[in-house]
């Protein structure tokens, strides 16, 4: 069964102070959820922007540097594991996106949010389903967020060895689940997520 191609997104805003915002890390069992916001510079276009999940690591790393160099403004923010457990992952993701946009050095006139839910804010905005593959600014934000979070998970792997965080980045792979059963949850695991919650209860 072939995938349905979404039509090109037509933005109602035609100015230059357009921010794209996206988050990475809703599905993992461990680590923060990371969001980024980007206002691209029309005078300094960046080729190859796309959904970060569809790019190779090498290309993401190259674009990460290029976006930071050429964008009019960018910001990276997060919601912590504690906030995820307290608020739930959806609300924590929206919080991280709101923080990213609020931290931009240039305030946007319009914001495009990846997905179908927007944060609670006063910005003029629109949501774009699969926006990271349809809107350049959202694609740029997804790249900044993913590279940032992936690097953090590699670093956390050295602090919490044995879980394989550098490889699976906290997602619930078979290897990760086996490590969780063997070692139990670490301080960076999301206690509100069912697999971690059940293991924690089993260990009591």
Question: Is position 114 annotated in a ligand binding site?
Answer: yes
Q: What is the distance of C-alpha 103 from the center of its chain?
A: 16
Question: Is position 23 annotated in a ligand binding site?
Answer: yes
> Which H/E stretch holds residue 142?
helix 136-159
3 state DSSP class of 82: helix
Q: Which two tokens stand for residue 193?
A: 């997520």
**Strand runs (DSSP E) across 25-84, as ranges?**
33-39, 73-79
Question: Is position 47 annotated in a ligand binding site?
Answer: no
- Tell me how far apart the alpha carbons of residues 84 and 14 are, in angstroms, rounded to a whole number: 35
- Tell me how far apart the alpha carbons of residues 179 and 174 are, in angstroms, rounded to a whole number: 9
Running DSSP on this structure, what letter comes out for residue 34? Answer: E
Q: Which residues are annotated as a binding site for a divalent metal cation?
A: 22-23, 114
Q: Which residues are annotated as a binding site?
A: 22-23, 114
């Amino acid at each position: 069964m072939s995938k349905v191609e979404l039509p090109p997104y037509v933005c109602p805003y035609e100015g230059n102070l357009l921010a794209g915002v996206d988050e990475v890390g809703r599905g993992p069992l461990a680590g923060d959820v990371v969001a980024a916001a980007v206002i691209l510079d029309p005078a300094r276009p960046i080729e190859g922007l796309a959904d970060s999940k569809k790019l190779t690591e090498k290309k993401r790393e190259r674009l990460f540097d290029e976006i930071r160099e050429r964008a009019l403004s960018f910001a990276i923010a997060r919601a912590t594991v504690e906030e995820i457990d307290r608020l739930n992952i959806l609300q924590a993701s929206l919080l991280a996106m709101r923080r990213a946009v609020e931290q931009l050095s240039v305030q946007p006139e319009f914001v495009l949010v990846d997905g179908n839910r927007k944060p609670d804010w006063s910005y003029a905005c629109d949501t774009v389903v699969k926006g990271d593959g349809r809107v350049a600014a959202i694609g740029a934000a997804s790249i900044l967020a993913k590279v940032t979070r992936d690097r953090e998970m590699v670093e956390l792997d050295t602090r919490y060895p044995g879980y394989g965080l550098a490889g699976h980045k906290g997602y619930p792979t078979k290897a990760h689940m086996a490590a969780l059963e063997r070692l139990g949850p670490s301080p960076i695991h999301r206690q509100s997520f069912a697999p971690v919650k059940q293991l924690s209860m089993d260990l009591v």
